[in-house]
Chain A
Amino acid sequence: MTKPHPWMANSGGDAKQQMLAAVGAQDVEALFVQVPADHRMQRPLDLPPQLASEVALSRHLDDLMAKNETCADNLSFLGAGAWPHYVPAICDEVVGRYEWQTSVFGAPTSDHGRNQAWFEFTSQIGALVEMDFVGLPVYSWGCAIGHSVRMASRITGRKRVLIPAIMDPERLSVLENYCAPTEMERHIEIVTVAIGADGCIDRDDLRAKADDSIAAIYFETPSYHGVIEGNPAELCQIARDAGAEAIVGVDPLSLGLLEAPGAYGATIAVGPTQPLGVHMYAGGGVGGFIASPDEEKYAREYNTLNVSISQTRQQGEFGFGLTLFHQSSYGMRDEGKDWTGNSVYLWSLANAAYMAAMGPEGFAEIGRLIMARAGSAAQAINALDGASVDLSRPIFKEFVVQFADHDVATINDALRQRGIFGGKDITGEAGITGAAALFCVTETHTPDDIDRLVTALKEVLA
């Protein structure tokens, strides 16, 4: 080291000498005697040159990142698990605070503010889904599905789960890992239920499969393809009649308009948290929530950390502490519920600020706006030669576009040349025949943006 490093106080001055003198060691090497000589690396690390100067580092990062093209420089219609929603400026300010960026566990008294904000995250999710028990977030929506299916399996003692035949392959792949391969004794079998022409779960197929071997039925509304389920209560009823859990995946931004899962008989609700004030971050903004009724049967199966409101020694004062910690992997290692660890808790603070600023009217308004914008885009695209959208499907935010004569890769390449990122190529996925893309339209898309897309598509399809 040629200079004291700005991030290491004791790399400057005589602190090291003082500490060596205090411990009575000749040099630092003497402190590593536990590590046998033949375990040690025999040469210095061969790494790129040190960039200790912030100006040099900043330039390097800028140069590297300049090789990206972003959804801000381009007009993007990609969704499918990471969505382009508006992130209010206050959310960035809130998550940027050094206090809670640097916090770790702490105590309910010393890190009170963060614990309260966590409780406000769970409370507001609870208000949206109308359920009383909400855990701290897990890594993603797919992980929330995985954990909730495993919860259902433990609750019912059954090892089969029904899922829609059309599901986001990203989430499905995560779920498959959570259910373990067939060779394993504790494997949970995944059985798919047919999707009808209307894009919704086929009731007959569901009834035929929902027998007493089923731990849970999982479905989403809106679905992967954006379709709103008209009668979710019926699906939940079928699950409950089979003695199974009704797990519903919801987009929290739809819940100003769409009925809360807790109100139609879902027993576990899961969903993504990224839409609530977190940027896409190349997929690094994702997170997931798990909610249920506040019954011991459910509460005692959560793998998450859980924060509860509490009284304090001071009359009328609130504090917030962990509950049901012991059942976690921290408490019981391999006997605990699945596992927990660092997750996406910082994002839950953005989520809390977002939900608080939105309020009930904000959610209703954004829901209407998204439906209107997505609906108008779907209509305009459907009017083009060579592209079609099934307009009979009630959709929220995302919809499938079928292309008659071109493959999606060709179309998207041509759109990209016009500064547009087209929808996700879903050609070849379950439930899709021919060339198709999943387009996502949100409150961030203006009518002009949609016109621009339609004009470009028209050229490309011509």
Chain B
Amino acid sequence: MTAPIKDYLKRSTGFHAARWAEPVVCEMTGTGRRGIVFDDAPAPTLPGTAMRKVAPALPEITEHDALRHYLHLSQMTMGMMGVSLFGTCTMKYNPRIGERAALEHLRNLHPLQDASTLQGVLELYDNFSDFLCEVSGMDQFVFQAGGGADAAYTHACVTRAYHASRGELQQRDQIITTIQTHPCSPATANTAGFEVITLTLEENGYPSLEQLKSVVGPRTAALMVNNPDDMGIYNPDIKEWVRIVHEAGGLCFYDHANFNGVMSRLRARELGFDACMYMLHKTFGAPKGGGGPAVGAYGCAEHLVPFLPSPLVVKDGDSYRLDDDRPDSIGRVREFWGNAPQVLKAYAWARAMGAEGLREAADISVLSNNYMDKRLGEVRGVTRSNPDITVPRMEMTRHSVEKVTQDTGITIFEISIRMTDFGIDALWLSHEPWLVAEPFTPEAGELWSKEDIDYWIDVFEHVVTEAYENPEIVRTAPHNAPIHQLTTALDEPDQWATTWRAYQRKHVS
């Protein structure tokens, strides 16, 4: 191996993930052991055929076994224990203070408690709504949506209710989006029953006004877009877009999940949007949890407030209550009023940042991304999307190793896996469809130090050099992971097994 290895990279070549050879928990049956016991109670008489005949095939292990097993599994999860610059997800520190406070203060609250006993958490909701209203220019935020996509879905439902209230729902059956808008906008619009129109990119890196105008009309129910997109390109016509859609009678929704780079500089309402969404598990420091629990904080201007999901936290004088008596409301997109622990964690993060912290975080994330652009641009075979657009990108940039792949046969997927050998969790490549070949999309955010970012790029460069000089080591990676590459054809019906039962039926007997 002749690739240049920086000094501290050399130290990290010693990295090896924990490898516990942990059995699947379902294998640990038939031991007669117990992990939790309860007081005895007599067997009840159950009606008809309600009684279970065969006991569920669950493990029989001690409490210690269960704990040790799952801690072993946690140790075999890289997460942010190394460096993760996973794009479109804004990898932040997830402050432990929020975790502790949520566990301590919220775990024993029931959502149907009398409002007089929920004053703290309701005040939290009200305070944080106010905070996000200042940040976005909107008039009200709600936290019921269980993720960013669920907030997009909330918007699709609000759109239905808004047009229905004007007797126009039947007529307005189309939602317009762009190919560089996150898939959750078209997907939720479709689920809500709308026809989806997807605009394509043109040479500036975004669709032209002409393209937009050609599809806007009396059937337009809403526009759902994000801006900047995950290539780091900002659509400067966006105010005009909003004007055109409004003129045609449609609503405008800003998926502001790519907010990190523009915090304190852009307010969705000032651009004319009727509603917007922030991901608390992305921009506001709540943990991602490998996929939630999450919150898509949905905010809107006055004219859409009547349609917001219920219940709404309302301030009456000095106290708070939950208002569920709102005839125009879309009702629930999810039971109760949201992932309160995540709201608390995000609120804690936001308060610790304050206005100056938000500005600083935005500055650092855009600066770091441009620094990465600079350094990645010097790596052999790396190009970036829309090479003609030379202005600085926002908080992330789409790059490509197409040239490396042409030269060496090594794909971005293989490079990404090889990087995990150095403690860098797999990269975000790109949403489908890939508009750029062999893409990858790092996002530095504000957490990571310059040394972390340099380390990430050094590893990347090292692996690209390996691709040219020793491709086999890349192709056969990972070498330092808990397990080796998967080999089963998981998309084949006779091969996939999403449960141990299915596995035993298909692969053992």
Contacts and interface: CB of A to CB of B under 8 A. Distances in A.
Nearest to B431: A330
A114 B264 contact: no
Centre residue among B47, B164, B289, B333 by max chain A CB count within 10 A = B289
Given A80-B112, A318-B483, A90 B66 contact: yes
B375 to A, nearest CB: 7
B73 A114 contact: yes
A178 B335 CA distance: 13
A357 B70 CA distance: 11
B31 to A, nearest CB: 9
B47 A330 contact: no
B148 A106 contact: no
Interface in A406-452: 412-413, 416, 421, 424, 443
Interface residues of A, number: 216
Contacts of A61: 97, 101, 105, 344, 348
A1 B498 CA distance: 50
Given A258-B50, A286-B335, A339 B77 contact: no
B364 A8 contact: yes
B2 interface: no
B36 A357 contact: yes
B294 A343 contact: yes
A60 B152 CA distance: 32
A9 B447 contact: yes
Tell me what chain B mostly uses at the interface: helix, strand, loop, or mixed.
loop
Nearest to B503: A309
B214 interface: no
B129 interface: no
Contact of B77 (A39, A106, A294): A106
A365 B498 contact: no
A259 to B, nearest CB: 5
A341 B148 contact: yes
Contact of B66 (A229, A338, A356): A356
B403 interface: no
A202 to B, nearest CB: 16
A284 B293 contact: yes
B351 A358 contact: no
Interface stretch (B4-12, B228-236, B458-466): B228-236
Contacts of B360: 1, 5, 8, 11
Given A99-B79, A113-B75, A39 B239 contact: yes
Contacts of B305: none
A394 interface: yes
A19 B367 CA distance: 7
Contacts of B299: none
B265 A41 contact: yes
Contact of A232 (B50, B75, B102): B50
A317 B483 contact: yes
A311 B334 contact: no
Interface in A320-364: 321-324, 326, 329-336, 338-347, 349, 352-353, 355-364
B160 interface: yes
B338 to A, nearest CB: 6
Contacts of A44: 264, 355, 359
Nearest to B329: A173
Contact of A52 (B354, B432, B486, B498): B354
Interface string A1-43: 1000101111100011011101101001011111110111100
A168 B335 CA distance: 10
B121 A57 contact: no
Contacts of A5: 352-353, 357, 360
B58 A343 contact: no
B188 to A, nearest CB: 5
Contacts of B152: 339
A108 B37 CA distance: 34
A360 B183 contact: no
Contact of B49 (A49, A231, A312, A338): A231
A283 interface: yes
9 A-B pairs closest in CB distance = A50-B354, A283-B336, A230-B48, A346-B289, A357-B35, A341-B149, A283-B111, A113-B76, A230-B47
9 contacts: A11-B360, A113-B75, A114-B73, A132-B497, A174-B332, A256-B55, A342-B146, A345-B292, A394-B46
